[in-house]
Amino acid sequence: MERPQPFGVNHPTQGTLNHLTLEWIVDALLPYNTVENGAFVRLLTTACPRFAVHSAKCLRTCLMPDIYNKVKNTILELIHDEQNVYYCSVATDMWSSQSMDAHMALIIHFITKATWQRKSAVLQYLPFAESHCAENLLLALEIAFSEYKIRERLHLLVRDSAADIL
């Protein structure tokens, strides 16, 4: 049996399935190249023959940045709504992988005014190639605070026990 014509790039079903594929990869903590596994491709093309399964590179460089920007804008809108959030706290954590690559994450925490719900979101994850000296850590924090425009709303910065982030 011949495979039907794939959905076009802008077809709503193609977009929905792309989004669901990325959501599954992120939720299951899977590598992007999962979509290039032969059994995975057969599963999806059998379930929906018109779905064009994208490459790992396409997911990583084309589709994921769009989702990242949408999520980032949603977080920015939420934390800058003065009717909803006035103060926030940021937690930072640094660690090294088994291959000794350094990483840093910044997580924002706040309570909504209207519902008193506690919320958290990862603001940034950064591979940290520079020296872990206090000056470089401060610069990374300053850039993040400026990018998210949270300096005037920042109530508290929580850190891990690393000596270089004092």
- Supply the pLDDT for residue 48: 93
- Supply the pLDDT for residue 47: 93
3-class DSSP state of 80: coil
Domain layout of the chain by residue ranges: 12-73, 80-165
- Supply the pLDDT for residue 163: 59
Q: Whole-model pTM?
A: 0.71
Query: Which residue stretches of the chain have pLDDT < 50?
Result: none
- Supply the pLDDT for residue 1: 62
- Supply the pLDDT for residue 104: 87
- Supply the pLDDT for residue 27: 85
- Listed residue (124, 140, 127, 139) closest to 96, CA to CA: 127
- List, for residues 108-117, the tens digit of each pLDDT value: 998 888 888 8
CATH of the domain spanning 80-165: 3.30.420
- Supply the pLDDT for residue 127: 84
